[in-house]
Amino acid sequence: LKSMLQRPDLLCDAAFLGGAWEQADSGKTFDVTNPAHGDVIATLPDLSRAEVARAINAAQKAQKPWAAKTGKERAQILRKWYDLMMAHQEDLAIIMTAEQGKPLAESRGEIAYGASYVEWFGEEAKRIYGETIPGHQADKRLSVIKQPIGVAAGITPWNFPNAMIARKVAPALAVGCAFVVRPSELTPLSALAMAKLAEEAGVPAGLFSVITSTAASDVGKEFCENPTVRKLTFTGSTQVGRILLKQAADQVMKCSMELGGNAPFIVFDDADLDAAVDGAITCKFRNNGQTCVCANRIYVQAGVYDAFAEKLKVAVEKLTVGDGLNEGTTLGPLIAPAAVDKVQDHLNDALQKGGQILTGGKPHALGGQFFEPTVVTHATQDMKVSTEETFGPFAPLFKFADEDDVIAKANDTIFGLASYIYAKDISRVTKVAEALEYGIVGVNTGIISTEVAPFGGVKQSGLGREGSSHGVEDYLELKYICMSI
């Protein structure tokens, strides 16, 4: 892998702790493997709770002088970091594909997407405006200022090893917080490469640390129990989100949660079917179905059901499964054997309940963690895929009658992250977009992510928003100053 990189030192073999590159005190290590072949690509220190506490202490020391800088000074460092990420986009993408499996083209896209948050929030650093409020008494002058919350801690998943960190660390640093992150142990290399470039960009020592550890729950406990940490930000499953929220309650810690989804993708009979198929392909099969905004349930109106299914089958059969590092691959391996089992389980369940395979339907001939992109018709609300997030290349097609029918079905879930509608009738689009209980609605598009818009869910999909001008709020506290003159 090193030989493929222009900057081999971006493939790190140490944790970034309080501004230093360190091994574990215990000497323990763990391997990072490539999900395409299972080969070991790096060995990293397996840190324990005491080292997490050290990183938090260092963050506390670095935070005050960082917050005392002007927004412009912080912005300049973030801008340098953004420039370095883009200058090394190809290396960062290769490292990502090697540890995560997604096709190289998608990794390049993710690096640009992650970097865009660093750029955006760097710009926002200069615009943390407060307000003045007309006094309630003649001698009173009221103002509200926004201040950084202090030390923030983040826990991130393996599906977007760069962007899920960038969305958190960028607003945190922009407003004057320090940030300690524990990336998934499956994909820590992208996080470390980001840290290396942050160091080069001039991010002060200790302000940003990356904890490499297999002891996820220990690290989570330290984040929640250490009184220096005032903010926890998590992206991952709803199940783990609930655990962390409970743990954080003892310290009344401010939390943001980007949790699971079960996105409905709704195709009405007046939709442009070719556009809907294109959208469904990107939305369902991007990152091999392993995103929290991936279409999990595809609802198609009865009149166009067969036509849509046929077109989708043709498009799915054009996808190329393989090693993400190979040119031309559009679908990489799943992240782990358990992920393959989950897809198989959802598929078996669907078939038992009347689903019929239109294409795919089994592990791929390449073996390992590769699975055929699969479409199943005759899907119903009682199938597992309707209530759980599949996180794999399995597209179930549901039939619906009318707007009210599909709104009820789409909202029949504990989740509320992303949803998608394909239709042309403007009143229908308006009615359905307003009725969907989701934080995000894509209309005639399968791609909704951008740093300029607020990303986040309702119901059990989460708390808070990442990106856009709202994205800084999770890292700020309001202070109301009441002055008598």
Residues designated catalytic: 258, 292
35 near ligand ADP, rule: CB under 6 A: no
CA-to-CA separations, 228 to 35, 177, 222, 253, in angstroms, rounded: 37, 12, 10, 10
Give the nearest distance from C-beta 243 to ligand ADP in angstroms: 5
**Listed residue (397, 403, 399, 411) closest to 360, CA to CA:** 397
Helix (H, G, I), strand (E, B) or coil at 99: helix
The one segment of 22-30, 162-170, 213-221, 461-469 that binds ligand ADP by CB under 6 A: 213-221
Least Å distance, CB 220 to ligand ADP, is 3
State yes or no: residue 243 binds ligand ADP (CB under 6 A): yes
Report the alpha-carbon distance of residue 373 to residue 361 in Å, rounded: 7
- Residue 271: CB atoms within 10 A of its CB come to 22
Q: According to the binding rule CB under 6 A, does residue 52 interact with ligand ADP?
A: no
Confirm or reject binding of residue 336 to ligand ADP (CB under 6 A).
no
Q: CB-based burial of residue 60 (10 Å sphere; 0-12 exposed, 13-18 middle, 19+ buried)?
A: middle
420 neighbors 426 (Cβ within 8 angstroms): no
**Residues in 149-168 at the binding interface with ligand ADP, rule: CB under 6 A:** 155-157
Chosen residue from 29, 237, 251, 344 binding ligand ADP by CB under 6 A: 237
Which residue, chain included where needed, has tokens 């992510």? 449
Distance CA 180, CA 178 (A): 7
* Distance from C-alpha of 74 to C-alpha of 76, rounded to nearest angstrom: 5
Residue 371 carries which DSSP code?
Answer: B
From candidates 122, 236, 333, 373, binder to ligand ADP by CB under 6 A:
236
Site string for ligand ADP, 406-435 (x = CB under 6 A): ------------------------------
Q: Which of residues 179-198 bind ligand ADP (CB under 6 A)?
A: 184
**Rounded Cα gap, residues 352 and 344, in angstroms:** 12
CB closer to ligand ADP out of 216 and 273: 216
Q: Is 148 in the site for ligand ADP (CB under 6 A)?
A: no
101 counts as binding ligand ADP under rule CB under 6 A:
no
**Token code pair at residue 393:** 């290349």
- Which of positions 457-476 make contact with ligand ADP (CB under 6 A)? none
Q: How many angstroms separate the first and last alpha carbons of the chain?
A: 67
437-460 core/surface letters (b: 16 or more CB in 10 A; e: else): bbbbbbeeebebbebeeebbbebb
Is 324 among the residues that bind ligand ADP (CB under 6 A)? Answer: no
Q: Would you say 30 or 120 has its CB closer to ligand ADP? A: 30
Q: Does 217 bind ligand ADP (CB under 6 A)?
A: yes
Q: Is 225 in the site for ligand ADP (CB under 6 A)?
A: no
Please choose, out of 233-241, 279-287, 345-353, 419-427, the segment that lies near ligand ADP by the rule CB under 6 A: 233-241
Q: H/E element holding 163?
A: helix 163-175
Q: How far is the CB of 41 from ligand ADP (least distance, A)?
A: 18
Q: How far is the CB of 431 from ligand ADP (least distance, A)?
A: 33
HSE, CB side, 13 Å, CA atoms: give it for residue 357. 15
Q: Report the site for ligand ADP in 360-389 (rule: CB under 6 A).
A: none
d(CA 150, CA 153): 10
Q: Does 44 bind ligand ADP (CB under 6 A)?
A: no
Do 362 and 351 meet the contact criterion of CB atoms below 8 Å apart?
Answer: no
Tell me if 469 sits within 8 A of 124, measured CB to CB: yes
Segment 270-289, which members bind ligand ADP (CB under 6 A)? none
Burial (CB count within 10 angstroms: exposed 0-12, middle 13-18, buried 19+), residue 479:
exposed
CB nearer to ligand ADP: pick between 184 and 468? 184
In this complex, which beta carbon is closest to ligand ADP, that of residue 5 or of residue 232? 232
Min CB(143)–ligand ADP separation in Å: 39
The residue (of 220 and 442) whose beta carbon lies closer to ligand ADP is 220
Token pair 């818009």 is found at: 453
Number of residues this chain uses to bind ligand ADP (CB under 6 A) = 11
**Minimum CB distance to ligand ADP, residue 305 (Å):** 31
Q: Which of 148, 150, 188, 220 binds ligand ADP (CB under 6 A)?
A: 220
CA atoms within 13 A on the CB side of 186: 19
Task: Indicate which single residue of 240, 316, 376, 417 sits in contact with ligand ADP (rule: CB under 6 A).
Answer: 240
Tell me which residues touch ligand ADP (CB under 6 A).
155-157, 184, 216-217, 220, 236-237, 240, 243
